[in-house]
Amino acid sequence: MKETLLYSIVAFLCLRCIKASEPFVVNCSETVIMGKYGFSVVLPCWLTPKTDAESLEIRWYRPDQFRNPILLYQNHKVVADFQENYKNRSSLTLSSPQSTGLKQGDVSLKLDNLALSDIGIFHCYVSGDKSYDSKTVTLSLTALGSLPLLSLEHHQNSVNLSCTSSGWYPQPRLLWKFTNKGDVLSELQSPIYTKQENGLFFISSWVLLSSSVSNSISCSVALSEENREVSVDLGPRLSVQNSGLWKILFTVALLSVLALIGIGLFLYKKYNGYQLVKRGNMPNECQMSDEQPQHSKDQKLVIGQPTIMEDLRKANVTIRFDEENCNKDYLRFNPQGDTVRDFGAAADEYKGRGFPYGLCVRGRERFCSGRVYWEVRLKLANVPPKKSWLIGVAKASYTLSDEKSYFTPSNGFWFLCLDPENGLHVNTEPEISPTENTTLESVGVLLDFDKRELSFYNATDGVHLLTMKTDFKEDVVPLFNPGIGDNAPLQIINPQVKTQNEAEVNASV
């Protein structure tokens, strides 16, 4: 019995050796394999006829690097410590889900974390006791770069748009076009290409348009069928022909008002006297420098910057609603002071009047320096996201108003707003509509007072929406408006506060 078992084992091993020594041919993909920078790729290679390759030697190497292979398989195992560049990046793998691997001659190579140095030819060499063969496979790479960064700057009679994007390979193409017409802009500056340290390309371009243009314009950067695109709605603006007379009249009116104010202050000081109260002496008010920056006449908006939400949340601050200085008849707050919604007859009062600006409510906190961040939730579980809201900042000395024309940067208001009539827009002068396809469930606000920047983020997906660059002439307060007619309230997500059950939050307001 033992002799029969021993004979069977010896016969089996002999058959395997004979089979492994049979002549075979190495086959590799004849087409160029396309990989993506930073991702993984499989270089398919197999033996014909199907041969058990477990007892064979398999060597993958680059040209002229036979003795320094990427991967070497010998004696039923992978031998390590060859090329440091491919350590923990290379492995034998299956060429398809149906493959059974080495047992049927599948000797394919998998490369992880692809780099530009991987572009080129790879040799697959397989040898046995009586047969050997080799073939080559070629690898090429593409890198899909970042979402374009679109900077928009209004000047006296023109609009300057610049578009930049990084992390592309090979050189991408850049295209400007009016999205509502599909017309491609011609006679533009040729894109400028710059190589980054990692070998990828950085591309930039700009276009100068007349102030009379009122179209939605997009900048797209693309490789064949893959592209990144961002667009901005320039909105209606004064024509060049009519702006001259308007500027003259505005200047005369402004000078007249300033003269009247100066005369009034002089007379008041002379006959009544007054005491100058420095900022910071009043309750809950910031101490600010007497030297205020000159307000820029040119508004600037930046769209599509890269975002690291963890860094933003390091500047997180606690915000509470100022329940006293608002229209309390139409607003309802929870006991914690971080949730608000329209209340009572608000929907009837503001029906047919557009967005209910009169329902704005400020935060209790004031800011005059530094960098602070807060988040606002616009959706509860099993409740649709809000379709009407306003989030931003305002000068601390503002007064309530129902008029939309009052809520402008020149009057001390900077915000992102959503309403059914105008969609998502920012209250620049003129208004601009940033591209954002997803429904916002939470919005992050970053106020960098020292840099004079106010940024908005899709806090759910970690996507930068836009940055407003302006000058704040005084301390500012957070500004909110819950809109009307939505089931979901507007809730500030404060740090180090246990989140309540969403049903309880909804019930409390």
Q: What is the pLDDT along the chain (509 residues), one digit of tens a residue?
A: 445 444 445 444 544 544 445 789 999 999 999 999 999 999 999 999 988 999 999 999 999 999 999 999 999 898 866 788 888 899 999 988 888 899 999 999 999 999 999 999 999 999 998 889 999 999 999 998 887 887 777 766 777 788 888 889 999 988 888 766 656 665 455 788 998 888 999 998 888 777 666 567 888 888 876 777 766 666 544 333 334 444 554 555 666 666 666 655 554 444 433 332 222 333 344 544 444 444 444 455 566 555 678 888 889 999 999 999 999 889 999 999 999 999 878 888 888 788 999 999 999 999 998 999 999 999 888 888 898 999 999 999 999 898 888 999 889 999 999 988 888 888 877 777 765 556 789 999 999 998 889 999 988 888 888 888 888 888 999 999 999 988 899 999 988 654 444 444 545 56
What pLDDT is recorded for position 69? 93
Residue 11 zone, left/alpha/beta (φ > 0; ψ -120 to 50; rest): alpha
Residue the block writes with tokens 């080129």: 120
Q: Helix, strand, coil shares of the chain as percentages rounded to 5?
A: 15, 35, 45
DSSP single-letter state for residue 277: P
Residue 496 zone, left/alpha/beta (φ > 0; ψ -120 to 50; rest): left
Is this prediction's pTM over 0.85?
no
DSSP single-letter state for residue 409: G
Q: Is the separation of the CB atoms in 483 and 388 below 8 Å?
A: yes
Tens digits of per-residue pLDDT, 163-219? Answer: 888 889 999 988 888 766 656 665 455 788 998 888 999 998 888 777 666 567 888
Average pLDDT for the chain: 79
What pLDDT is recorded for position 189? 59
CA-closest candidate to residue 485, choices 413, 401, 386? 386
Q: Is the separation of the CB atoms in 50 and 27 below 8 Å?
A: no
DSSP reduced 3-state for 208: strand
How many whole angstroms separate alpha carbon 175 and alpha carbon 221? Answer: 7
